[in-house]
Amino acid sequence: MHKTNILLIEDDDRLSIVLKKGLEEKGFSVTQAFDGEMGLRLFDKGGFDLIITDLILPKINGLDVSKAIRKKDNHIPIIMLTALGATDDKVEGFDAGADDYLVKPFDFRELYARMKTLLKRSGKNSEFTDKTILSYADLQIDTQLKKVSRAGIVLNMTPKEYTLLEYLIKNPERVLSREEIAREVWGVNFDTGTNFIDVYINYIRKKVDKPFEDKLIHTRPGMGFLLQKA
């Protein structure tokens, strides 16, 4: 399988090391550059799927790096990192060819989410394109047919049960808070005075877990729910 290659242009040694480690843990291949000139030299060698570049860089700044890349490749996704958050700075970054703009300090999860969106949009790596079949353990979802099965047995789900289960299987082995589930599945802010999420978790448990020996849907008291092999 093609490994997604990232060119990281960042002169802050500490941040560069942290980002490289985090991205490699997510399965990316990361090449580091510590100034704009080095970044462009590495880019010219080719083979990258996405560029992450700081705005303020030694030798050649991030705006000029982005412009130079755009003259050679109008499609590769570029994410610009900066400590500057003013609207004018963002507009200047977009005008230079950046696809997205992240203001420091930022949460790594936000960077990863934006990378996935851009890679999926660009079609540069099939890992981030929509998959028709989603699976975890012996649980399988056909997103095209909206069909759920476990161990080959078809499970009948209501539309909302299906949507909730699809979100769980797309985020396996990660604790999902009630707030996140309410926002991402129902599109609402979670009201602590209601228990509708717990109710729907129980609905899908009865179908996905109860008939089977191995349980996949687990509760983390005070935190949320996750899909995980026991």
Q: Which helix (H) or strand (E) holds 142?
A: strand 139-142
Q: Is residue 106 domain-shared with residue 220, that is, in the same domain? A: no
Q: Which of 89, 107, 128 is the last residue of a domain?
A: 128
26 residue type, one letter: K
Per-residue pLDDT at 202 exceeds 70: yes
Q: What is the CATH number of the domain that holds 103?
A: 3.40.50.2300
pLDDT in tens, 73-105: 888 899 999 877 655 666 777 788 888 888 888
- What Cα–Cα distance (Å) separates residue 158 from each residue in 136, 183, 194, 204? 20, 19, 21, 9
Q: Which of 105, 128, 151 is the last residue of a domain?
A: 128
Q: What is the CATH number of the domain that holds 145?
A: 1.10.10.10
Q: Is residue 121 domain-shared with residue 137, that is, in the same domain? A: no
pLDDT in tens, 120-129: 777 665 555 5
Q: Which of 91, 111, 128 is the last residue of a domain?
A: 128
How far apart are the C-alpha atoms of 142 and 134, rounded to whole Å? 6
Q: What are phi and psi of 52, to 5 degrees?
A: -115, 120
Domain count, the chain: 2
Q: Is residue 109 domain-shared with residue 141, that is, in the same domain? A: no
Tokens representing residue 162 in the block: 């299906």
- What Cα–Cα distance (Å) separates residue 211 from each residue in 105, 154, 167? 47, 12, 21
How far apart are the C-alpha atoms of 31 and 50, rounded to whole Å? 11
Provide the mean pLDDT of the chain. Answer: 87
Q: Is residue 118 domain-shared with residue 155, that is, in the same domain? A: no
pLDDT in tens, 63-73: 999 999 998 88
What domain range includes position 200?
133-227
